[in-house]
Amino acid sequence: MNLEASKKTLKVVGIIEIVLGVLVYLVGILAAIGGSFIAMGVYGDNIPALNAFVTQGLNAQQLGSFATLGAVLFILIGTIGTIEGVLYVRGANNFAKITPAWIFSIIGLVISAYLIYVTAMSIVNHTATIATIITNVLEISISILVFIAANSIRNATKK
């Protein structure tokens, strides 16, 4: 991949990562607020949307705690996605700063490969959905593309 294509690839993917990272972060904040209110019992135990879970032995406060924990993970994932996007854009704008983006691209590639493995095991067990398969194939494709772009810039700046 030539340098101009690598630069454009990192910029486009970086901007998408920043936007999605911020959105995931905001969803995490909203879920944390809602989960905290449920965990504190603000809404009481009679929440129609949670009745299916409550009948399985969990009360609303426990479900609120689980929602808050999930929200914290969303906040973490959103923050990491935003940082990743910033590093991609920074590396595309200044080739001397490509190393952190290159490292993140390797981490993304490893995580994507693991998700493909998990999806393959889910297919074998007949528990994978089409959406999961498509999402993971897109994820590994984007990870490969970003790695190739970052690696091209890194190799060109070494010379």
Q: What is the pLDDT of residues 73-126, one digit of tens each?
A: 999 999 999 999 999 999 999 999 999 999 999 998 998 888 888 888 888 878
Token duo for residue 55 = 């009948």
What pTM value is reported for the model?
A: 0.79
Gyration radius of the chain's alpha carbons: 20
Query: In total, how many domains does the chain have?
Result: 1
Q: What pLDDT was estimated at residue 27?
A: 92
Q: Which residues of 84-114 are buried (b: 16+ CB within 10 A; e: fewer)?
A: bbbbbbebbeeeeebebbbebbeebbeebee
Q: What is the pLDDT of residues 29-77, one digit of tens each?
A: 998 888 887 777 666 666 666 666 665 666 777 777 888 888 999 999 9
Q: What pLDDT was estimated at residue 49?
A: 65
Write out the residue range of the structural domain in which residue 70 sits: 3-158
Q: What pLDDT was estimated at residue 86?
A: 96
Q: What pLDDT was estimated at residue 87?
A: 95
| C-beta separation of 146 from 88 below 8 A | yes
Q: What is the pLDDT of residues 121-159, one digit of tens each?
A: 888 878 778 888 888 888 889 999 999 999 999 999 887
